Each structure stands twice: as structure tokens, then as C-alpha cells.
Amino acid sequence: MNFNTGGSLLLFPSLAMLFSFLCLFLFLVPTLLAQSSDTNASSTSAAARALDTLLQDYAYRAFVRPKTGVLYDGVVPSNLTGVQIAAMRLRSGSMRTRGVEMYKEFQIPIGVVEQPYVERLVLVYQNLGNWSLRYYPLQNQTYLAPVLGLLAYDASDLSAKNLPELDLRAFGDPIKIRFSNVESVPKGSVRKCVWFDLHGLVEFSNLTAPNECSTIHQGHFSIVTESISPPSPAPGRRKKMQEMEKAADAGEALHMTTVGDTKAPSATVTRTQPTLETEYVP
Ligand SMILES: *[C@@H]1O[C@H](CO)[C@@H](O)[C@H](O)[C@H]1NC(C)=O
Ligand SMILES: *[C@@H]1O[C@H](CO)[C@@H](O)[C@H](O)[C@H]1NC(C)=O
Ligand SMILES: *[C@@H]1O[C@H](CO)[C@@H](O)[C@H](O)[C@H]1NC(C)=O
Ligand SMILES: *[C@@H]1O[C@H](CO)[C@@H](O)[C@H](O)[C@H]1NC(C)=O
Ligand SMILES: *[C@@H]1O[C@H](CO)[C@@H](O)[C@H](O)[C@H]1NC(C)=O
């Protein structure tokens, strides 16, 4: 073999390129792993958003010469039996200055403003009943009440479909949600309010009164309690463990390129598993 100088000069840039590709890959692996769970969350959220769109259409159908400030119960398609919907049309100004004393479970105080501004708006109410878990699955939590939705839309065309939601914000007191049928929990269990915004964000907070949650935003709401985990790993948790193992493999690859074939990351994960197992024992 006879290396000429030109050949090694060419070799060096390609090595550098290979190295930067390797770095890029190593940085990407954890990112891709993280994204795989995000994608899952957004696919469930996509189904929930499609449901919002469908329910907006069906709620608007309840309006036949609607009076402002009057609640109209809607009828859902038969493939969604168990879901309840309602609609109320309001002047934007009256929502801001007077609020709505009681709209199903929602109490809307003075000072709720929509964005962008519209002259009249419709508040669509949803009670997802036995469909709550299907559209809003939550790991490690048990629903104690159905998921309720409150969403605002422009009222200028009452036959419109696929309307974008308006952004609702309470600038004074928060909107209160008084759940009417909340399942009781074993003594010592903690109940939490849960809020789903329209982009897949989930937030937990304390109840503000017995069976009451509050919010300054629109979205979907319920009351949950932490599930007591069954003795064998639930599918969700098994998946999590697989992800941890995958992450460990990626970590291992990193080690192999730098230190050699040490299996330290994988061993660390194995040791932490018993902690996962016992974490949820009451
Ligand atoms: C992720 O998606 C799969 C299939 O769509 C589903 O079976 C699984 O329950 C989802 N996991 C989570 C945590 O949403
Ligand atoms: C339920 O039926 C309606 C009306 O027929 C249809 O538009 C919608 O896609 C169906 N939804 C589901 C979740 O099956
Ligand atoms: C909810 O209950 C209705 C009957 O009241 C049933 O037709 C429907 O399939 C149920 N939905 C789910 C998701 O189980
Ligand atoms: C559910 O519980 C498992 C096991 O304790 C935990 O690893 C996981 O992060 C929890 N999931 C959520 C969404 O809190
Ligand atoms: C919720 O309540 C618990 C116990 O009552 C308290 O320790 C915690 O700080 C509260 N959390 C928030 C966010 O207010």
C-alpha cells in the first residue's frame, strides 16, 4: 500500500465529518426518545381536538332563533351517546361586565374577556361522561368526575363549522367549576383538580372547595386521585421501563465510543427498578 499525501489530506476532512455526524447522532438519540412520548401525547390530544370540533358543530345546531344568555341543550350523534353538550350565546360586553351566574357546573365571574375580540360569542359546554377516559387518558390517575369542557367561539355565524376557539381569560376572580357527582375516595387519598388546555398541556392543582376547582382559562376539567398501582407493572409503566432501557442503551453506546465497553449505565438502571416497584405501595 502506498499512501500519497493527497490521499491523507482527503482522509482527514472526511474523518472530521464522520466525527461531527457521530456527535450529531449522539445528541439526537435522546431527543428522538423524548419525542416518541410527546408524539403519543399529541395523538391523544388530536382525537380530543377533533371531538371539540365535532361538538362545536352539534352544540351550534341547538340554536334555533337563540335568545342571548339562554342555555340550549344540544344532541350529540349516536356514536357519542353518553356525552352531553350545551351552548349559550352571549354579548361579549355582558360576559365582561356581568358574568354568568351558573352555566351548568361553571360559574363565570365578572371580568372574563375573550381574545380576539368578537361582538357576540358562544360558550360551548361539554360533559364527556363515560367517554372522559377515552379522550383524556391520564397515567396513574383515576377520574372521580366526568371531564367537563368550556370553550368559546365566535357567534357571528351560527351554522359555521371548524371554528377556532377564542382565548378566554378571567382577569378578576377565577371561573369556578362545581362538580355535581364526585366519587368518594378511600381515606387518605388525595384529590386533585386537573386542567387540560387546548394544546395538550395537563396541569394539576388543589381543589378550591369541596368538589370545586377553579381556572382562569378555558379548556377541560375534572377531579382525579392517584391510582394505587397494581402489583405487576401496568402497560404504561412497562413502556416507561422500555424507554429507560432504550435510553440506557443509547448511554451505553456513548460509553463504548469514549471509554470502551463498560456497562455502567445499564447496571444503574437495573438497581433503580425496585424503587419504581415500591413507590406506589400505600
Ligand atoms: C401510546 O400510543 C399507543 C398506541 O397508539 C397506546 O396504546 C398507548 O396507550 C399510548 N400511551 C400513552 C402513554 O398515551
Ligand atoms: C360520529 O358520527 C358523526 C356523525 O355521523 C361523525 O361525523 C363522526 O366522525 C363520528 N365520530 C366518531 C368519533 O366516530
Ligand atoms: C357510554 O355509554 C353509552 C350508553 O349510555 C354507550 O353507548 C357508549 O358506548 C359508552 N361509551 C364508552 C366509551 O364506553
Ligand atoms: C406513572 O407512574 C410510573 C411508575 O411510578 C412513573 O414512572 C411515571 O412517570 C408516572 N407517569 C406519570 C405521567 O406521572
Ligand atoms: C395543595 O394542598 C397541599 C395539602 O393541603 C399543600 O401541601 C400544597 O402546598 C398545596 N399545593 C398548592 C399548589 O397549593
Say what the pTM is: 0.70
Question: Would residue 268 count as lying in a domain?
Answer: no
Question: Would residue 241 count as lying in a domain?
Answer: no
Grid cell listed for 194: 386537573
Kindly identify the ligand whose nearest atom is closest to the C-alpha of 137. 1
Query: How far is 199 from 43, CA to CA, in rounded Å?
Result: 11
What residues make up the domain containing 131?
44-226
Domain count across the chain: 1
Question: Would residue 165 count as lying in a domain?
Answer: yes
Question: Would residue 215 count as lying in a domain?
Answer: yes
Question: Would residue 254 count as lying in a domain?
Answer: no
Number of the ligand 4 atom closest to the C-alpha atom of 138: 13
Question: Would residue 187 count as lying in a domain?
Answer: yes
Written as tens digits, the pLDDT of the chain (282 aa) is 444 444 444 445 555 555 554 444 444 444 433 333 444 566 668 999 999 999 999 999 999 988 999 999 999 999 999 999 999 999 999 999 999 999 999 999 999 999 999 999 999 999 999 999 999 999 999 999 999 999 999 999 999 999 999 999 999 999 999 999 899 998 889 999 999 999 989 999 999 999 999 999 999 999 999 987 655 555 555 555 555 555 544 443 333 333 334 333 333 333 333 333 333 333
The CATH number of the domain where 176 resides is what?
2.60.220
Cβ of 194 less than 6 Å from ligand 4: no
* Cβ atoms within 10 Å of 228's Cβ, excluding its own: 12
* Burial 94-108, CB ≥16 within 10 A → b, else e: ebbeebbeebbbbbb
> How many angstroms separate the alpha carbon of residue 241 from the centre of ligand 5?
30
